[in-house]
Amino acid sequence: MDASFELLGAVFARLRATSAVTSYVGTRIYDKAPADSEGRVTVPFPYISCGPSTSIPDDYDCLYGEEVTIQIDIWSSGPGEAYSTVQCRKICDAVKRALHDVDLTLCVNALVSLQWELTRVLSDPNPAIKHGVVQFTATIETP
């Protein structure tokens, strides 16, 4: 099984099981957020989606591995804390705390480490939307 695919499944399961995350987004954690035929997202804010990922070889002696970088996107919009960047930043922090340095079980591959790398809050072309990015790097031993 592809190491990045398996990692993302474990990451999403962890986020769905973390009350600090679900208290904001409920079950709205997606690989790709549902959208209409014109590409407009059809779920309420806030929500989490999967951003880009990269995998590079990380072999050592006779061990095979990959270094996988994943991006978790946080989307926020609305009144109150969502009007500013406060809600987006709180969700980013909850995601970071849920995943940094945790031991996730993978069925085929073996997670060696999962490290938080950065958090960014970005401007969106729509000024009503706040976009947070939380990036992690995983070292995975592959069969």
pLDDT class for 61, splitting at 50, 70, 90? confident
Radius of gyration of the chain (CA): 16
Segment 27-31 mean pLDDT: 97
Residue 105 has pLDDT above 90, yes or no: yes
Dihedral, CA of residue 86, residue 89, residue 90 and residue 92, to nearest 10: 160
Helix, strand or coil for residue 104? coil
Residue 62 has pLDDT above 90, yes or no: no
pLDDT, tens digit, 9 for 90 and up, residues 3-23 = 999 999 999 999 999 999 999
Segment 87-110 mean pLDDT: 97
pLDDT class for 117, splitting at 50, 70, 90? very high
pLDDT, tens digit, 9 for 90 and up, residues 74-90 = 999 999 999 899 999 99
* Residue 32: predicted pLDDT: 95
Name the residue with higher pLDDT: 134 or 58.
Answer: 134
